[in-house]
Chains A and B, each alone.
Chain A
C-alpha cells in the first residue's frame, strides 16, 4: 500500500506540481484546494502525510491545523507546512508543536521527494514505507 500524501494549497499550479512529483516519487497524492476540503477529506478517514500551505484565503494553514487538532483528526497523520514566506510565523504557538517540519517553496522534485519520504518514516505503520513498496 502506497503512502498517501494530502496536499493542501490554494494555488492550482502548486497542487499540480506537488501531485506530479509525489506520484513520480511513488506516493499517492490527494489534493485539497483549501482548509475546508482538507478537513472533509480527513473526516472521511484519510491517514498519511499532510503538506499544508500556510497562506490561503478564508482559512489559512494554521487555522486548518488548529481545526484538525480540535476535531481530533491528527491521529495517524504527519503534518508538514508548505511555506513560501521566510518566517513561518507560528513560533511559540502550541499548534506549531504538531507540525513536523516546514517545506520551503520552491523546491525541486528530488528535494520534495526526499523530505516526504522522511516524513513517511514517522507514520505509525512502517509496512507502508514507500521504499519497502518500491523494492517489491
Chain B
C-alpha cells in the first residue's frame, strides 16, 4: 500500500491533532501552575485558601492525561486492524506459525486459505504447516534450512491441499527471534505457482515431444537421405545405361550404314553380274549361232548333191542333229533371257484373238501336215495386257505340242472364259494325253515324258519357256489331262485389260480332270 494513502484510511486525524495540541497545552500549563504553587508554598508557608485551587489544577492534569492515553490506545487498535486487512487482502498467502518443530499455524490470510482450499483462515489455525508438504524430503529440507539460516527463500515445493489436490507452492519463511536470539515465531509468504509449474510441465512435455519428434524427423531425414542417395545411384546407373544404349544405337546406326553400303554394293554387284550375264548370253548366242549358220544353210544342199543313198542318209542324220542343236541353242538362250526381270518386256493392250489367228495362220502348213482341225470360239476382241510376240510364241509352242502329240487326224479347240478379272485361254487337243505322274514335271526344264526316245524334235524347253513368259505377264499356265489317250488341255491365265469386254460363251467340257498350276 502506498504511504500517501494513509490519510484517507484514517479520517479526522487533523482534528484529533489539534485537540492533542490543546491537551498538551492544558497539561503543560497545569504542570507549570502546579510548580508555581509548590514553590510559593515552600517560601511562604501553607497555602490556606489556595489549596482548593491546587487540587482543581491537579484534577485537570489527571483528566487531560487520561484523555491522551485513551486516544493513543484507540489509534493503535486501528493500525492493527488496517494491518490485518491488508495482510488478508494480499494476493499471496501469509501465515504465522510456531517456531518450534511443530509448525502450528497461528494465523493465516484468506489467500492462504483459498490456496489450500480451506473454508476460512480460521480453519487453518492450529493445523501444522508441515502437514501440507506432499514430499517428506521437501519438508525436511525446509526445516533444515530454517534452522540453519533462519530463513527460506522461494523454495518451490509440492503441497497437498486439504481436499487432496496437488499444488505447487513457492515458500518464503523467516524465523523471528527475541532479544536473546531465541526463535519466537515463524512468518512466511506463499505463492501458488501451480499454473506456472503446469505451464512449465506442459512446456517440458511439449519440448520433450518436440525433441522426440525432432529425433523421429532426423531419423526420417536420414532415411530420406539414404533413399535420395539410392535414387541418385539408380539415376546414375540409368544414365550410364542410357549412355550405353546411345552408344549401342550409334554402333547399330554405324552397322546399319555399313550394312546399307554393303547391300548397295552387293546390289550394284548383282546388277553388274546381271549385265555381264546378258552380255555373256549375247556373246554365247552369237558364238553358237554364227557357226551353225553354214551348217543349217548348206547341209540340205549338200544332201542334194550327194548321189550315194548311204551318203544321203548320213547327211540327213547331220541335218537332224544340226536342227536339234539349233533349236536347243535358241531355246536355251531364250530361256536364259526370260530369266531376267520383265522390265525389258513390252506391255501393251493386245487383242489375244488376233494373236491366236495369226499363230494359226503361220502354223497352217504344220496343221495341215498333221491333219489337225482347229476350232476357235473367242470373243472379238479379247483384250489382254502383254507382249504380243511372247504370247505368240506361247501359243505357237502349244499348237506344235498338240500336233506333235496327236497320232493321226485330230482336233484342237481354242476357247476362252473370263473369271475374276482374268482371261482363261484354253488350247485343248484330243491327242495321246499325259500320264498323271508326268503332270507335275511337265514345265520343268529339259523334262521329257519319254527320255528314252531320244526325240530330236523336242528340246524339253518349250513348256518351260511358256511358263516363264506367263510368269512375266503376271499370269500362269495350267495343264489338265485325264490320263493317257484322253487328250490334254493347256490353259493360259492372263490379266484382262478390259473388264467390260463381251463375255465369251462358257467353255464346253469344263475341266473336271486333274488340274495343275504351273507356278504361283
Contacts and interface: CB of A to CB of B under 8 A. Distances in A.
| Genuine A/B complex | yes
Interface of A: 11, 13-14, 16-18, 20-21, 24, 55, 84-87, 89, 104-109, 112
Contacts of A20: 297-298, 301
B292 A86 contact: no
Given A20-B298, A86-B281, A86-B333, A107 B286 contact: no
B12 interface: no
A55 B285 CA distance: 11
B282 A105 contact: no
Interface of B: 281-282, 285-298, 300-301, 326, 333-334, 337, 344
Contacts of A17: 293-294, 297-298
Among B286, B287, B301, which residue has the most Cβ atoms of chain A within 10 A?
B286
18 contacts: A11-B290, A13-B293, A16-B294, A17-B293, A17-B294, A21-B301, A24-B301, A55-B286, A84-B286, A84-B290, A85-B285, A104-B289, A105-B293, A106-B295, A106-B297, A107-B293, A108-B297, A109-B297
B301 A105 contact: no
Given A84-B286, A85-B285, A87-B337, A108 B300 contact: yes
Nearest to A11: B290
A89 B282 CA distance: 10
A106 B297 CA distance: 7
B326 A106 contact: yes
A88 B297 CA distance: 21
Given A87-B337, A106-B326, A13 B286 contact: no
A130 B298 CA distance: 21
Nearest to A13: B294
Contacts of B326: 106
A96 B328 CA distance: 29
Contacts of A11: 290, 293
Contact of A86 (B282, B290, B293, B296): B282
A87 to B, nearest CB: 7
A85 B293 contact: no
Contacts of A105: 289-290, 292-293
Given A86-B333, A106-B293, 5 more contacts: A13-B290, A24-B301, A85-B282, A89-B282, A107-B296
A87 B282 contact: yes
A108 B289 CA distance: 12
B495 to A, nearest CB: 24
Contacts of A107: 293, 296-297
B301 A108 contact: no
B282 A106 contact: no
B286 A85 contact: yes
Among A55, A85, A107, A109, which residue has the most Cβ atoms of chain B within 10 A?
A85
Among B285, B292, B293, B326, which residue has the most Cβ atoms of chain A within 10 A?
B293
Among B281, B285, B326, which residue has the most Cβ atoms of chain A within 10 A?
B285
A87 B281 CA distance: 10
Nearest to B329: A106
Contacts of B301: 20-21, 24, 109
Contacts of A108: 296-297, 300
Given A55-B286, A109-B300, A109-B301, A86 B295 contact: no
Contacts of B344: 87
Nearest to A55: B286
A112 B419 CA distance: 43
B276 to A, nearest CB: 15
B468 to A, nearest CB: 14
A132 B103 CA distance: 179
B231 to A, nearest CB: 73
Contacts of A55: 286
A65 B175 CA distance: 157
Contact of B297 (A21, A86, A89): A21
